[in-house]
Amino acid sequence: MLPRTAYVLLQLMNEQMVFMGGRMAGVVVGLWRRDIMVWKVRTAVSLEDYMSVMNVIFTI
């Protein structure tokens, strides 16, 4: 009886993890899409600033 209940608990945990993972993925995709929209609105000057900042980060 104990192994069966443990198996059921494991299944429930697995489903919960998948559910949480799906929600996290949705949030990440939503943020990513919003970032793309913001990036499209911004000008090339801000893009150059971003690249220079990234260069500084990588050189350190």
Give the pLDDT score at 8: 87
Is the torsion defined by CA of 34, 37, 41, 46 positive or negative? positive
Give the pLDDT score at 49: 76
Give the pLDDT score at 19: 82
Residues 6+ apart with CB under 8 A from 47: 39
Mean pLDDT in consecutive groups of 10 residues from the start of the chain, 60 residues: 81 83 82 71 64 74
Task: Count Cβ atoms below 10 Å from residue 59 Cβ, excluding itself.
Answer: 6
Closest residue by Cα to residue 52 from 42, 38, 44, 21: 44
Give the pLDDT score at 42: 58
Give the pLDDT score at 50: 74
